[in-house]
Structure 1
């Protein structure tokens, strides 16, 4: 049970994270190649903007902003699940190769189908999910030791090696694409948020609003699975079934997120760590905070990328990697 001080701390942290997300949201809306002043932004939000201001806000900015927030939330919760199930603080869907598996299926889809079809937005996440699931299965099998479960060090080594191989295969297949599709795939690999239409938001939204609440409802299960396996069995948890369900949720969140946002890593590594340091290890407390921090990280990275090199911009994945790679090495040395 949490005492009053812990509950107060969790509430304050959650409110602060929401306020920070709103602040980054406003900054992201108001900055860029075609900027809006705070007055113009407020006027447009209440329905009194000019056609130019409406176009900038509702057609250019908001869809991309919402994709960044939703994808950041999905990647953060996915990473939190993986870290808890594997008891490995270095677990992340990007580092373990799940994003790379999803990316390989994205390029396979583009090779045989066109990105212009109306079903593209909804079929692509399913292809990415298949790639992510297959990759997760291979990593799990190769990292599992009978009687001991998943060995954390082996998990990271297998994941990093498999990710490198899959990215190599993705790049090789990308060279067979025509110029337009190759440009799309190159931007995807770099982590450029390419979903800048409301249809992309609608294609990602169901995955986030369904799977993240399910994960939070399974907080007690994650709390027990984070302990020794015998403890989980002792309190009546069906370890095998719950682990499979949660792994599927984690892979689905990561695959759907990167299918729309691009090959972005390290958000799923950093956000759960930051959330745990702020509110503690109980999943009821840190999962919502991790989701908010994930949204903040990815939206801030995309905004920085747009402002630093306007109008073409720097892909958000590169900005996140600049921050996340040193953080990963720090954790690797520490743990």
Structure 2
């Protein structure tokens, strides 16, 4: 009887989670359509439909296919990547405030991207497909540094010590990036300023193709490891008792999280708080079970970034507000709220 009741409850939760994910996917599609018609030059619904089916003017096709669609697709991809990265870090470190932006992972990736671009005459001349790899190296070194500084023998990693270490490293990385900009020419300086503000700078199909493999490989891999993350959340001793190779699994999951954050940052700039807000809202909607929480986080992250980017392009036309600033307006108060609720 108890097993039947438990199975019924689980089935109800899974059904509810599926409905929520479908609803979020529908909202993303709606935001996608609205975003295609957002910009200095507007397209009527009929012009949009005609252009999508190849019946628009050359100007309309240029606006939609070369300028807007790549940026919108990138917004969806980086939102999913950053949100899943944050969910993994929160799960592995068992720290509700973990986020690749707050912990300095984004800054570590960004400084390597900036160093690579400094060797080329313009930012767009840098090898697009190499950017995620270089960002991954920077993010990985930063993650290792934070782990080493936050770890204490016989005590492990305290959630608050990890947070404070990450904030300090992020501040140091950002300061180093600003100092390095003093040696750059005006065009590259403008690029760094744009990156720091969190403006999506990679807006061509080349950037979509450079980011897509990372998202298509690492997000499914992390979702595949959802059961392992459920076990890790029970605590290290319990996980070992259940037969989990804790250290190996933590390393693999963190490598995937760092890869997602680095690849996203390489084309999006320093957009923060997506990895914090997405997983937290997902837990509130579908619960802590990672089989549901991870895909819900990805959908929420995509919805958050595409909405923020659309608002940023619409609110002060013909100028733009960087996407990172719009996300920060939402994420910073939520971060302070979570920090106030944290007991240790």
**TM-score of the superposition, structure 1-length normalised?**
0.97
Choose from 298, 301, 305 the match for 1:298.
305
Q: What corresponds to 2:296 in structure 1?
A: 289
Q: What corresponds to 1:13 in structure 2?
A: 20
Are the counterparts in 1 of residues 39 and 318 from structure 2 also a CA contact under 8 Å? yes
Are the counterparts in 1 of residues 102 and 166 from structure 2 also a CA contact under 8 Å? yes
Q: What corresponds to 1:224 in structure 2?
A: 231
Q: What corresponds to 1:280 in structure 2?
A: 287
- In 2, the alpha carbon distance for the partners of 1:194 and 1:139 equals 28
Q: Deviations over 1:175-197 (max 9, x none)?
A: 11111111111101110001111
Q: What corresponds to 1:320 in structure 2?
A: 327
Choose from 242, 245, 253 the match for 1:246.
253
User: Deviation at 1:173?
Assistant: 0.2
- In 2, the alpha carbon distance for the partners of 1:116 and 1:182 equals 10
Aligned-residue CA RMSD (Å) = 1.3
Q: What corresponds to 1:122 in structure 2?
A: 129
Q: Deviations over 1:167-225 (max 9, x none)?
A: 00000001111111111111011100011110010000000000000000000111111
Q: What corresponds to 1:98 in structure 2?
A: 105
Choose from 140, 148, 151 the match for 1:144.
151
Give the length in aligned residue pairs.
Answer: 335
What are the within-5 Å matches in structure 2 for residues 1-335 of structure 1? 3-115=10-122, 120-335=127-342
- In 2, the alpha carbon distance for the partners of 1:119 and 1:237 equals 42
- In 1, the alpha carbon distance for the partners of 2:138 and 2:41 equals 37
Are the counterparts in 1 of residues 122 and 187 from structure 2 also a CA contact under 8 Å? no
- In 2, the alpha carbon distance for the partners of 1:84 and 1:148 equals 18
- In 2, the alpha carbon distance for the partners of 1:141 and 1:123 equals 27
Greater CA deviation, 154-163 or 99-108? 99-108
**TM-score of the superposition, structure 2-length normalised?**
0.95
User: Deviation at 1:116?
Assistant: 5.9
User: Deviation at 1:254?
Assistant: 0.3
Q: What corresponds to 2:4 in structure 1?
A: none
- In 2, the alpha carbon distance for the partners of 1:189 and 1:155 equals 23
Greater CA deviation, 87-96 or 307-316? 307-316
- In 1, the alpha carbon distance for the partners of 2:29 and 2:286 equals 20
User: Deviation at 1:119?
Assistant: 6.0
- In 1, the alpha carbon distance for the partners of 2:39 and 2:199 equals 15
Q: Which runs of 5+ in 1 are unaligned?
A: none
User: Deviation at 1:39?
Assistant: 1.5
- In 1, the alpha carbon distance for the partners of 2:240 and 2:63 equals 54
- In 2, the alpha carbon distance for the partners of 1:61 and 1:288 equals 26
- In 2, the alpha carbon distance for the partners of 1:68 and 1:117 equals 19
Q: Which runs of 5+ in 2 are unaligned?
A: 1-6
- In 2, the alpha carbon distance for the partners of 1:207 and 1:155 equals 26
- In 2, the alpha carbon distance for the partners of 1:114 and 1:217 equals 42
- In 1, the alpha carbon distance for the partners of 2:285 and 2:124 equals 44
- In 2, the alpha carbon distance for the partners of 1:56 and 1:88 equals 43
User: Deviation at 1:115?
Assistant: 4.3
